[in-house]
Amino acid sequence: MYDLLNLFTVGLYSHTTDIYSFPLNNAFLVEDTATLVVYSGNTIMSLQIEHNLAPQQAVSSALPNRVQKIKGQSWVFDASQNTIYNNLRTDSTNYQLNIKYFYIIDGSLFVLYKNQIVEINSSLQILQQQQQEIDKAIQLPNIILTTTYLGNIVLYNTFNLTQINKTIQLGVRVKQLTMLLQFQEVMILAYNNTIYRLNFISYNLIKWFSPTSDQIYKIYYDDVNKITFITMKSSNCYIFDGINIQLSVPPNPISNSFQIPYTSSQIFQISIEPITGIFAVYTIPDNNLSKIDFYQYNFTNKNTQQLQNITYLGFIPQFSRSPGLKIQFIASNIFIFSSYQLIIYNNNLTLQNMIRSTSIFSSLKKIIVINSPQNDTNLFFAQQESNISLFSYKSNNLIQLYSHSCITPNLVDYQLSQLVSGFQVSILVLCDDKVINDSFYLENLTQSLSQIQQCYTVSQTQYQYQMLQNLDKSFYEESSNPALIRIEQLQQTDFGSYNSTRNLNQSVFYLNQTSSVTVQQTQFKYLKCLNCNGGALQINQGENHLIQNCDFQQIESQNGGALAILECPTCNITITNSIFKSNVAKIYGGAIYLQNSNVQIAHTIIQQNNAQIGGGIKYTKIKPILNNNLTHRNLEQQNQNNNVTLVSFYRQIQQSQSSNIISDNKAKIYGNNIGSYLQDVVICQPVLKTLSVESDQQISNLYGINRLFILQSYEINNFRSGNSIDLKIQLLDEENNPIKFNPNFINKKKYDNEILSELQNLQVKIEPQNNTQLKVFGKYTADYSQFDEASSSFIIKGLIIVSNPLTTNIIKISSSSLTKIDAQTRQVDEESLNNLFSLVLINTRNCTYGEVYQLVDVIYQCFICQEGSYFLSLPTIQNTACLKCPEYSQSCRKNEIQLKSGYWRLNNLTDNIISCSRNPRNCVPIEEKNYCIKGYYGPLCEQCDVYGILWDQPYISDGNYNCYPCADLIHKPYYSYLSLNLILMLLFIISSIVLQLSLTKSLTVSYYLRKMHMISIIKSAFFNSSSLGLKIFIGYLQVSGIIYSQLEFSFPYGTRLLSNTIGMPVTNLFYSLDFLVIYGRHSVFTFQYDVVQVN
């Protein structure tokens, strides 16, 4: 046995082969596995012991059949032969059980696992247990109520852990249990959106509230003031005092409730301070900052706690949109915990302090406030998924007094005793299968754990560091080749082969507030510590440290695959002549993670490392000194050998004449080689004109913008005021690569909590520089849900920009995730936080045809006439309304009018529409051909394209407003009719002339015979009465032909043929001979047609 307090060997616990030569050179306790490691001469041996040796810490299994992780493991390392082998190995058995609930009742500890209940007494002995599936549970007076996944309710008596009454079959899984002690009832919220009330004395179960139009979110209960809150997925929240909850009965129990005023979004959390009656309401509105509203009860009668109304006190804006935000009232302060910061307000809602950290409150499950012996100091426990810590807060200083890492820690009990010269603290913690009792001494309540000088806590970190420090010293004394010693193999007792991966619980080296430490000529390989910061080495608040000639390869951890350096802002830490290759971090920094630390890296290779963010290096707050880095592009032809050794490293450095080689690292989200912050926002679609630096300076001077805050400048010319635009926006990292992630992984929570929090808080926002000159409407923000993984961009669709026509204004594109590093100080530029943006210069054009001026607030936009309205002329500022479509139009929009078939207009600049009454089929609503069908043109489409200018071939008319292609008429009987018409007309003329000559001759002969008094013949004797009838008939045909041509409807062709041929032969001949014009248009004759505009 090894006495850790007095640091000497006192004997062996069990009989083993005595291979030691006393006194021992070194002996160390690996406390996680209860293993004693001893070193003597050239031999190292580990021995599994049955009990831990620290008297100040009691560790006991909470299950009788729960087996320790490591049992019966023994190994030997022979330094002379550089070999390691097992002496004894027994396979261990694990029950994968996690604690779901625990209660302290009458001095006993009741622990509820997934499938059983165990009662443990104060001596950590198992008293009794009950096998039962457990989904939800709640402690009642002398009763533990549990539910199963199928919705069965089982009650147990805490005296003998036996079931009370019979099982109550609810039939649906329970979501939440809330005890109303004054009514001896339990309020049960089930997954079927129903609240049941169970009397745990009479076992009477009623269905109390089951809304159909809304969904119940959560129940809160103030047991001091007897106030019940029921929050819904909508913005509703129903509040009942003790009287109203008793009067509220189905089917409408909410009729007697109060409502929280001034809420329009879903309530994600309510935190209550029962002494003052103040409660906080946390909401996350869409497209707006989340906020915490504060209210206070007003009682009509405080003795009976009858609620009169609720007073609104004010609100606190929040920049986190995480529903997991924790709000805690501690003394006179309001503490707001998020995964990356702690914000503290006083009761007047005035900001007192803001403490930013990347991990101190990550995965926070519960805050437990404890009584402080000093009035000016607040004390509270913070329970996380794998850690429990005790903090003190005084004078704007947050101090971590205690921290213990284990699986699902739960605070069972604590004792804080004030001594003459300090404080004695005892803490009882339930961790998975262990009950751990830690005790330590504090000189004052503002002294951090790392500063404690007299500490009786058996700290895994302290002993592990002491063990490794001693081992390092011993091997340096005894071994001539210390580089062959792989110290990580001494961490565990369960060894396989020499190069197998190790599952560590802590970094191999953990240096806490150390100074002047040198790590050199050391290889770290094949390590795995998924809950560590720095799998091989972690430095916390160190000073003057040197890491040189070290090789870190194939190491896995949570942050900083190989190395993590935390909170060293003023320290001098140097990494030189080292290799970081093929390391993996689960979250940040595949090779190196730097948190607020001043580090210089020189002559170092960092390659082929992987992480979510920062594949090679991830730093926060302070940028490391990296001189003349050789990037991936200029290293491609040099690094042909993937197996980089220390020898090849120096050769690469010499050949490249570079200080560092940082290349081929990969980050899944951003920061392949160097990951820090998102530092730029760019527009990738549409492609916009980029302005020069000189233009940026002019814009800065003209609009009073700080040039240092401008990231990118774009310009859009000839933009219509009121137009919408679709944007694809990228956030770029330090290497100008866009952030990339899968939004579905966020919804399904496939990322780690820290990554989830960062991605959920991502937001791109567009806003005007001057809200009185330019306004934006529509979707002007985008979060992770609007991220397009294929283009690695945030998509904003339908952004409407309104600015007075013929003006120039600016819109800003910003993101709260952007951070700028000051080039001189290498630190975060605090002045630029939330002030960085890219700008777009919007040059608007004047309103044009098809648009009218429309006033939006105090700004004019060019409103496009929508479907059913139009505007043809160039608008002025007095033109504020579009015109309705004309009577004879089919549709209209902008400056376009679609005519109905059978109507015509002169051009597209007039809305005077005329009916084509003579031949409606000639007019069609096609503007490109002057609204005429093929072969026609002119007013009302009544002319034929004789020259073939418009329709590429000549057309002739048939005299009835019908046009025919000349080429087609050659093959038709049309010319036969025309020839017959001409022959008949010619015969008619000849016969008329012959008859006229004969009549003249007869008249002359009769005239002379009458003068000679030979025969008296009168003139009428020579006229035939039939000719008079013919004239009358021809006159009829002429009149009917004119009537046919003037009427708007068409007669059958048979009725028109005789009238057109005989009654109007000249007109018919004129149209029929139009085709002859095309052959004579180049002759000396000129044919002139007059086009008459019909109004």
Which of 918, 947, 969 is at the close of a domain?
A: 969
For residue 641, name the pLDDT band (cuts at 50, 70, 90).
very low
pLDDT at position 841: 94
pLDDT at position 196: 96
Together in a domain, 904 and 797: no
For residue 462, name the pLDDT band (cuts at 50, 70, 90).
very low
Together in a domain, 922 and 838: no
**What's the CA gap between 101 and 905, in Å, rounded?**
85
Give the tokens for residue 32. 């996680």
Mean pLDDT of the 401-411 span:
82
Together in a domain, 808 and 908: no
Length of the chain: 1095
Residue 1001 lies in a domain: no
Together in a domain, 817 and 686: yes
CA contacts within 13 A on the Cβ side of 760? 25
Domain that holds residue 837: 681-844
Torsion of CA 878, 882, 886, 891, to 10 degrees: 150
**CA-based torsion, 400, 405, 408, 409: positive or negative:** negative
Give the tokens for residue 929. 């051909």
For residue 74, name the pLDDT band (cuts at 50, 70, 90).
very low
What residues have CB less than 8 Å from 646, skipping those under 6 apart? 549, 551, 579
Least confident window among 5-9, 45-49, 935-939: 5-9
pLDDT at position 529: 84
Residue 110 lies in a domain: yes
pLDDT at position 1071: 52
CA contacts within 13 A on the Cβ side of 170? 29
**What's the CA gap between 650 and 602, in Å, rounded?**
12
What residues have CB less than 8 Å from 938, skipping those under 6 apart? 932, 1091
Res. 500: pLDDT tops 90: no
Give the range with max mean pLDDT: 385-389, 560-564, 828-832, 1060-1064: 560-564
Res. 487: pLDDT tops 50: no
pLDDT at position 701: 84
Per the model's pLDDT, the better-predicted residue between 30 and 906 turns out to be: 906
The count of other CB atoms within 10 Å of the CB of residue 653 is 19
Res. 89: pLDDT tops 50: no
Together in a domain, 621 and 685: no
Q: What is the DSSP letter of 779?
A: -
pLDDT at position 963: 86
pLDDT at position 168: 94
Together in a domain, 821 and 917: no
Residue 742 lies in a domain: yes
Tokens 């609620």, residue located: 307
What region, left, alpha or beta, does residue 837 occupy, with left being phi > 0 and alpha being psi -120 to 50 degrees?
beta
Least confident window among 507-521, 669-683, 711-725: 507-521
Mean pLDDT of the 270-299 span:
89
Tell me the per-residue pLDDT of 689-721, one tens digit each, with 9 for 90 and over. Answer: 998 888 888 888 888 888 889 999 999 999 999
Mean pLDDT of the 818-831 span:
89
Per the model's pLDDT, the better-predicted residue between 78 and 364 turns out to be: 364
836-862 in b/e burial notation, b at 16+ Cβ within 10 A? bbbbbbbebeebebbbbbbeeeebbbb
Together in a domain, 562 and 695: no
pLDDT at position 367: 92
Mean pLDDT of the 24-30 span:
52
pLDDT at position 1058: 62
Mean pLDDT of the 609-625 span:
94
The residue ranges of DSSP E strands in 31-161, in sequence order, are: 35-40, 43-48, 59-61, 71-78, 83-90, 101-105, 108-112, 116-120, 126-131, 136-140, 143-147, 152-157
What region, left, alpha or beta, does residue 894 occupy, with left being phi > 0 and alpha being psi -120 to 50 degrees?
left
Which of 844, 873, 890 is at the close of a domain?
A: 844
For residue 90, name the pLDDT band (cuts at 50, 70, 90).
very low
Together in a domain, 596 and 706: no
What's the domain count of the chain?
A: 4
For residue 27, name the pLDDT band (cuts at 50, 70, 90).
low
**What's the CA gap between 784 and 759, in Å, rounded?**
7
Together in a domain, 713 and 825: yes
Mean pLDDT of the 509-520 span:
76
Compute the chain's Rg from CA coordinates.
48
Which of 779, 810, 844 is at the close of a domain?
A: 844
Mean pLDDT of the 395-416 span:
84
Residue 242 lies in a domain: no
Together in a domain, 836 and 699: yes
Mean pLDDT of the 269-283 span:
92
**What's the CA gap between 269 and 323, in Å, rounded?**
8
Tokens 């004759």, residue located: 1085
For residue 1093, name the pLDDT band (cuts at 50, 70, 90).
very low
Res. 669: pLDDT tops 90: yes
Mean pLDDT of the 305-329 span:
85
Q: What percentage of the chain reaches a pLDDT higher than 90?
A: 35
pLDDT at position 814: 94
Residue 233 lies in a domain: no
Per the model's pLDDT, the better-predicted residue between 604 and 89 turns out to be: 604
Query: What mean pLDDT is reported for the chain?
Result: 78
Mean pLDDT of the 471-479 span:
33
278-291 in b/e burial notation, b at 16+ Cβ within 10 A? bbbbbbbeeeeebe
Tell me the per-residue pLDDT of 538-555, one tens digit each, with 9 for 90 and over. Answer: 888 888 888 888 889 999
Per the model's pLDDT, the better-predicted residue between 358 and 810 turns out to be: 810
Amino acid (1-letter code) at residue 1082: H
Residue 504 lies in a domain: yes
Q: Residue 519: which of 504, 508, 529 has the closest Cα? A: 508
> Residue 712's domain is classified under what CATH number?
2.60.40
Res. 801: pLDDT tops 60: yes
Together in a domain, 819 and 915: no
Res. 464: pLDDT tops 70: no
Q: Residue 661: which of 618, 706, 596, 603 has the closest Cα? A: 603
For residue 498, name the pLDDT band (cuts at 50, 70, 90).
very low
What pairs with residue 55 in β-bridges?
Answer: none
Mean pLDDT of the 373-393 span:
89
**What's the CA gap between 359 and 385, in Å, rounded?**
12
Residue 416 lies in a domain: no
Tell me the per-residue pLDDT of 110-155, one tens digit each, with 9 for 90 and over. Answer: 988 888 888 888 776 778 888 888 999 999 999 999 999 899 999 9
Together in a domain, 622 and 685: no
Least confident window among 557-566, 619-628, 948-957: 948-957
Residue 93 lies in a domain: yes
Q: Residue 719: which of 811, 781, 786 has the closest Cα? A: 811
Amino acid (1-letter code) at residue 646: L
pLDDT at position 1079: 52
Per the model's pLDDT, the better-predicted residue between 532 and 71 turns out to be: 532
pLDDT at position 572: 85
